[in-house]
């Protein structure tokens, strides 16, 4: 694990404004993605969702992840670059998406906002959380070696992963 990156109790080291600006009632169902806020945490649970909907008494505010997507407010940016990606683009994207899937199982608010192609040798992946960007940096480094670097600022994390040959 990177030296400058120290988790506090498994949480992000960067304050997330989207977790503090709205008071979500309990329960709340995000109308966009269906994530449920219940007992102070977010989760995907189809059975619980049906139960809540049958009960009829619930909030319908958008979850922090959907709001970040809407606002294009990434808390993580992963810069993927180098000649290596030309031949392995699909494989790399699948690896990144697989990591998102694993992250979502633990925390439904960890999502990829977009994967943008800058040019043949560079892609930028935007994520809703710094922790997901960090995970993506880790998995790319673990899967394909190359070089990885993590740069924190006050409100987001930038991850640079590159491999030339």
Sites of contact with Zn ion (CB under 5 A): 30, 32-33, 35, 63, 66
Q: What is the smallest separation between the CB atom of 62 and Zn ion, expressed in angstroms? A: 6
Is residue 59 exposed (0-12), middle (13-18) or buried (19+ Cβ within 10 Å)? middle
Cβ closest to Zn ion, residue 70 vs residue 147: 70
Which residue lies nearer to Zn ion by CB, 32 or 45?
32
Distance in Å, CB of 59 to Zn ion, minimum: 12
- What is the separation of C-alpha 101 from the centre of its chain, rounded to a whole number of angstroms? 10
Question: By the 8 A CB rule, do 52 and 36 touch?
Answer: yes
CA 156, CA 16: separation in Å to the nearest integer? Answer: 9
- Residue closer to Zn ion by CB (options 61, 141) is 61
- Three-state SS string over 26-40 comes to CCEECCCCCCEEECC
Q: Which is closer to Zn ion, CB of 33 or CB of 93?
A: 33
CB of 87 to Zn ion, least distance (A): 36
Supply the minimum distance, in Å, between the C-beta of residue 7 and Zn ion. 24
């Amino acid at each position: 694990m990177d030296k400058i990156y120290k988790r506090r109790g498994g949480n992000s080291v960067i304050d997330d404004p989207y977790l503090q600006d709205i008071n979500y009632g309990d329960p709340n169902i995000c109308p966009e993605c269906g994530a449920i806020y219940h007992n102070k945490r977010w989760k995907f649970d189809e059975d619980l969702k049906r139960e809540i909907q049958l009960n009829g008494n619930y909030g319908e505010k958008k979850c922090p992840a959907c709001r970040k997507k809407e606002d294009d407010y990434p808390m993580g940016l992963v810069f993927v670059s180098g000649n290596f990606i030309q031949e392995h683009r699909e494989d790399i994207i699948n690896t990144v998406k697989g990591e998102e899937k694993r992250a979502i199982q633990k925390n439904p608010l960890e999502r990829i906002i977009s994967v943008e192609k800058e040019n043949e040798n560079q892609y930028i992946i935007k994520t809703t959380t710094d922790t997901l960007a960090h995970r993506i940096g880790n998995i790319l480094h673990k899967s394909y070696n190359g070089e990885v670097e993590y740069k924190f600022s006050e409100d987001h994390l930038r991850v640079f992963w590159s491999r030339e040959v």
